[in-house]
Amino acid sequence: MDNTLSVPAPKRRSSLGKLSPSFRVGGVIVLLVVLAALASLARPLQDPNRANFGKQFAPPSAEFWLGTDQLGRDLASRLLAGAHNALYVGLIAVGIGLVLGSLLGILAGYLGGWLDQIVMLGLEALYALPALLLALLLAAVFGPGAFSSMVAIGVAAVPAFARLARAGVLAVKAQPYVEAAQALGATSSRIMFRHVLPNILGPLIVQASLAFAGAILAEAALSYLGLGTQPPTASWGRMLREAQSYLAAGLSPYPSIWPGLAIALTVLGFNLMGDGLRDRLDPRAKT
Amino acid sequence: MWTYTFRRLGLAILTLWLASTLVFMVVLFIPGDPVATILGMDANPDVAEKLRHDLGLDRPPLERYFSWLAGVATGDLGTSIRYGISVGGLILKSLTLTLPIVLLSLMLATVIAVPLGILAARRAGGALDFAASLFALLGLALPSFWVGLMFIYLFAVNLGWLPSNGFPQKGWADPLNALKYLALPVLTIGLARSALLTRMVRGSLLEVLSQDYVRTARGKGLSERVVVNKHALKNAALPVVTVLGLEFAQLLIAAVVVEQVFGLPGLGSLALTGIQARDYPLVQGVVLVLAMFIVALNLVVDLLYGYLDPRVSYG
């Protein structure tokens, strides 16, 4: 059975063989979440916002695979829609952190001098304001919502990316190929983004995967507090917020159980993928 | 050492100044008229004028900025719109709930993580080690507020052992009763935070155990217990101290969220009430106080690290 696999593309197989088990497990989980998010767009189940009165708090059944919530809405369908929301918020937030952080880190590391000092000081100050605090501030000003929470999570992720990028640039800056590019008269921006950036991407990609896990957790927490995604959009954190009082009253545990498991599984997937990527892409890191 | 301490202290103050500036600036971006946002469109003009004056909105931004900074430096964080009393007083009162939660959770996390981490490192690769790794992975992935919900379902709804919500009116006047209301929140946060800590203790101890001086100690014929407890643990503690400091910041944030699960009137609920009432002096105050804690803890950890490890250079 197995030898049929090894024949067609030996080169690819050998590189796949190096991927650690944690990357494979994490990758499969992430793939499942992505598929769930895509599937939600096709609406394979009921509309996630359709209320079924008279069928509130139904246990899992053939009609409602995972049961229903306090409005009789299909939990399975809401869970899929929640995957879409989580990945959307995570993608934007990590995008903000990655782009802004890498840019600041590369500029600070490559140009050095007072710019470096100022950027580092700014990052130090940002460290004192984690995502939740930024989100509280933004919600106080602009009102709570998915936008505020995405910006807060993204900005809070900037320092980690910037530090990694800066450290990478400092290590790469003295390499002969950078010197060669400088001698050839390449502009600073060309050197930074054509020569330096590709060589420091590894750790940044690893961090992106780990930051994605953090963003999913943060989004869930913010939505749970009422600061993130607003109703009726299905969000895992928001679902837990709405389910809580019914759980405490002993009505139905299902609306409280599934979203938490979905969050945990997704976070686990991105964490494992990040760990696996680190073994592969970040030669300096120890396993 | 003194130069380092002063430089580090200077950096902390600079950081706080920047953070408070950020916190101040946010208000400048409030879309439209903040007074109209707070009071609604058809508010009494006299009331609106008074609020505008109280908030200092009738003064130019730069002047407001300096009076905000002066207030922060002297501990005056302004007046809450919703409650009409000083923000500092409100925060102090909620800290009597939030700080005990944070400290108790940190204690619980340490009590779990240190022995578990040591055991896992001593039997690295064994079943217990595997269980500890699994525990750490779960602790990192499970949202703490959800674990809190599950604890409510298990311990309060099904078993009826502990209260699930609120804090007694008498507060700390009846400490035993008060602690009963903190049991589930502390368990929730402490368990979650011990996961990462366990992994740190294990990793740190494993690294130390592979060093030459430990091999020498074993070669001398010392028992494994003496090698671990007397020789390895002290050095393994260093990275853990750093993590404990960072953990404290995480704990503070986790506490703000988990307080909400258990309906505890701490800093978190104070900030959320502030947001609902568009009471931004209150929100600014809470955010700034939390940021101060984080900066102060980073400072303490950095200084402690240098003190504990004579090899750290203060360059």
Q: Are A154 and A94 in contact (CB under 8 A)?
A: yes
- Tell me which of 2.40.110.10, 1.10.10.10, 1.10.3720.10, 3.90.700.10 is the CATH number of domain B88-308: 1.10.3720.10
Q: Are A49 and A36 in contact (CB under 8 A)?
A: no
At B195, the pLDDT band (50, 70, 90 cuts) reads confident
Contact between chains at B257 and A225 (C-beta distance less than 8 A): yes
Which candidate from A129, A144, A256 shows the least CB-CB separation from B275?
Answer: A144
Calculate helix-pair angle for A75-111, A254-281, nearest 10 degrees: 30
Instruction: Report the half-sphere exposure of A240 (CA within 13 A, side-chain side).
Output: 32
pLDDT at residue A154 in the model: 95
More confident site: B104 or A234: B104
Q: What is residue A218's three-state secondary structure?
A: helix
Please indicate if any CB of chain A lies within 8 Å of the CB of B22: yes
Mean pLDDT of chain B: 84
For residue range A58-69, what is the model confidence (pLDDT) as tens digits?
788 777 777 887
Contact between chains at B141 and A265 (C-beta distance less than 8 A): yes
The answer on pLDDT for A183 being more than 80 is yes
Q: Are B79 and B281 in contact (CB under 8 A)?
A: yes
Closest by CA to A79, choosing from A257, A236, A238, is A236
Contact between chains at B275 and A271 (C-beta distance less than 8 A): no
pLDDT at residue A283 in the model: 59
The answer on pLDDT for A9 being more than 70 is no
Segment B292-306 shows an average pLDDT of: 85
Closest by CA to A235, choosing from A74, A35, A52, A84, is A84
Name the residue ranges covered by the structural domains of chain B. 2-73, 88-308
Segment B188-198 shows an average pLDDT of: 89
Give how far Cα A261 sits from Cα of A62, A82, A257, B153, B251, Å.
Answer: 21, 12, 6, 15, 22
> Which residue matches tokens 């992994």?
B199
For residue range B199-241, what is the model confidence (pLDDT) as tens digits?
888 888 888 888 888 888 888 888 888 888 877 887 787 778 7
Which residues of chain A have a CB within 8 Å of the CB of B15?
121, 124-125, 127-128
pLDDT at residue B34 in the model: 73
Which stretch, A14-18, A64-68, A91-95, B229-233, has highest mean pLDDT? A91-95
Contact between chains at B286 and A136 (C-beta distance less than 8 A): yes
Name the residue ranges covered by the structural domains of chain A. 74-285
Segment A193-209 shows an average pLDDT of: 89
**CATH hierarchy code of domain A74-285:** 1.10.3720.10
Contact between chains at B29 and A141 (C-beta distance less than 8 A): yes
| Cα Rg of chain A (Å, integer) | 23
Min CA distance, A19 vs chain B (Å)? Answer: 19
Torsion of CA A255, A256, A258, A262, to 10 degrees: 130
Contact between chains at A267 and B29 (C-beta distance less than 8 A): no
A2-16, A103-117, A130-144, B183-197, range with the lowest pLDDT: A2-16
Please indicate if any CB of chain A lies within 8 Å of the CB of B57: no
The answer on pLDDT for A30 being more than 50 is yes
The answer on pLDDT for A1 being more than 70 is no
Beta strands in chain B (DSSP E): none
pTM, whole model, 2 decimals? Answer: 0.86
Q: What percent of chain A has pLDDT over 90?
A: 35
Min CA distance, B36 vs chain A (Å)? Answer: 13
- d(C-alpha A183, C-alpha A185), whole Å: 5
Three-point CA angle B304, B306, B310, nearest 5°: 130
Between positions 118 and 177 of A, the ones with CB within 8 A of B are: 121-122, 124-125, 127-130, 132-133, 136-142, 144
A91-95, A119-123, B54-58, range with the lowest pLDDT: B54-58
Which residues of chain A have a CB within 8 Å of the CB of B165?
248
Long-range residue pairs from A190-195, CB within 8 A, at least 24 positions apart, any chain = A191/A110, A192/A106, A192/A107, A192/A110, A193/A106
> Which residue matches tokens 């309906």?
B263
The answer on pLDDT for A8 being more than 60 is no
- d(C-alpha B295, C-alpha B193), whole Å: 20
Q: What is residue A208's three-state secondary structure?
A: helix
For residue B45, count CB atoms less than 10 angstroms from its CB and return exposed for 0-12, middle for 13-18, buried for 19 or more: exposed
- d(C-alpha A153, C-alpha A219), whole Å: 8
Contact between chains at A221 and B257 (C-beta distance less than 8 A): yes
Please indicate if any CB of chain A lies within 8 Å of the CB of B284: yes
Please indicate if any CB of chain B lies within 8 Å of the CB of A287: no
Q: Are A50 and A74 in contact (CB under 8 A)?
A: yes
Which candidate from B23, B146, B279 shows the least CB-CB separation from A137?
Answer: B23
For residue range B34-87, what is the model confidence (pLDDT) as tens digits?
777 777 777 788 888 887 887 777 788 888 888 888 888 888 888 888 888 888
Which stretch, A19-23, A238-242, B242-246, has highest mean pLDDT? A238-242
- d(C-alpha B23, C-alpha B18), whole Å: 9
Closest by CA to B54, choosing from B15, B80, B76, B26, is B80
